[in-house]
A = this chain, B = another copy of it.
């Protein structure tokens, strides 16, 4: 078995559900188990472990935050029933890459908290806090579906920005590719599409499904349904991506017209102008329909991230180093995207043959993962 296969097998069972996908939500038991595993791996390598008071965990070869350190790593948390590679691949690969470079290099490995936003609603929460993009008191008050706040889950108020981020020479995150754009084992990221999440509350009048005349209804499910189709159409017309993957209904009873349907719009596009036009068009179409349905719509942006262009010179350097590895953009958000505003940042992608992601079917071959480890080792050695 390869080095990768052996280390990967240690964490594969943690948080795996009957679906084959993972339930590794930030600061819940499976993710806490993975953090313990992280500390154990660091100890085996005589790496110092620190946390930043925001829920992000670091293992350091050399002094923590030593000037010129290159930071790598990723996140442990998953979407509900997501794949096992999305996040953990970057952490497992980081430990294996550190084993392959000279012992005198300053390298840090990060396990960022709440990258998916699956528990507290804001993706890249840990890196946003670390870089000061997110206000700690706002983060503290975010709640999960059971009403538990981020501060409660963390056991303390998050401490927010840490200026020592500025001492890093570079950040390099390795991640499984999440589409089918990469046909070689390893690629280099050029940019992350601007993207965001908008909560849409469609409010109507709850009533009896059997007795209320069709003409007397104010049924928000109709406005919601129209909006789902409108989002799909607008995204297709603009070459953007739009998805409604999460819904809450009140009272959610078969024989009751809903009083409220809440849907979340996830939208992404190659540039900020296109993204704004797509979201505006969806909201306009939804609002017009609400007028006809006798319902109301309120839209709340929960997180909106501008386009990230990774450091062009750094990407070119890594591509050249990795035998002209392809350079490609992605529609997925990453902690590296948040850090790129503060530190020269790059990403390495490992091939995903089917492109399936955020699903139990997500997969990368052991050979490609091993190639990813080797590429990351070459990059860390080159940059330190």
Q: Which residues of A contact B (CB under 8 A)?
A: 21, 79-82, 116-118, 121, 123, 177-180, 193, 195, 197, 205-214, 216, 219, 221-222, 224-226, 228-229, 232, 235-236, 241, 243-247, 249-259, 264, 266, 268, 330-333, 355-361
Interface residue SS majority, chain A: loop
Given A193-B210, A214-B236, check contact A252 B245 (CB 8 Å).
Answer: yes
Q: Which of chain B's residues have a CB closer than 8 A to the CB of A244? A: 221
CB distance from A257 to the nearest CB of B (A): 6
A210-B333, A213-B241 are known; give 18 further A-B pairs, CB within 8 A. Answer: A79-B256, A117-B254, A121-B254, A177-B211, A206-B359, A209-B266, A210-B241, A211-B331, A211-B332, A211-B355, A225-B229, A243-B255, A245-B251, A245-B253, A245-B255, A245-B258, A246-B253, A253-B358
Q: Which of chain B's residues have a CB closer than 8 A to the CB of A266? A: 209-210, 254-255
Tallying the copies of this chain within the complex gives 2
Given A225-B228, A356-B207, A358-B209, check contact A249 B257 (CB 8 Å).
Answer: no
Q: Which of chain B's residues have a CB closer than 8 A to the CB of A251? A: 21, 79-82, 245, 358
Contact status A179-B206, CB under 8 Å: no
Q: Which of chain B's residues have a CB closer than 8 A to the CB of A209? A: 241, 243, 245, 266, 268, 358
CB distance from A298 to the nearest CB of B (A): 17
Q: Which of chain B's residues have a CB closer than 8 A to the CB of A258? A: 245
Contact status A250-B81, CB under 8 Å: yes
> Nearest 6 A-B pairs (CB), nearest first?
A208-B357, A178-B211, A209-B243, A80-B251, A225-B228, A206-B359
Q: Please, which residue of chain B has its CB at the minimum distance from the CB of A256?
A: B358
The answer for the CA separation of A359 and B209 in the assembled complex, in Å, is: 11
Contact status B268-A210, CB under 8 Å: yes
Contact status B359-A205, CB under 8 Å: yes
The answer for the CA separation of A228 and B227 in the assembled complex, in Å, is: 12
Q: Which of chain B's residues have a CB closer than 8 A to the CB of A245? A: 209, 221, 249, 251-258
CB distance from A332 to the nearest CB of B (A): 4
CB distance from A97 to the nearest CB of B (A): 24
The answer for the CA separation of A272 and B251 in the assembled complex, in Å, is: 28
Q: Please, which residue of chain B has its CB at the minimum distance from the CB of A359?
A: B206
Contact status B229-A222, CB under 8 Å: yes
Select one of B205, B225, B243, B268 contacting A219, CB under 8 A.
B243
Select one of B210, B224, B253, B330 contacting A210, CB under 8 A.
B330
The answer for the CA separation of A87 and B340 in the assembled complex, in Å, is: 61
The answer for the CA separation of A243 and B211 in the assembled complex, in Å, is: 11
CB distance from A353 to the nearest CB of B (A): 14
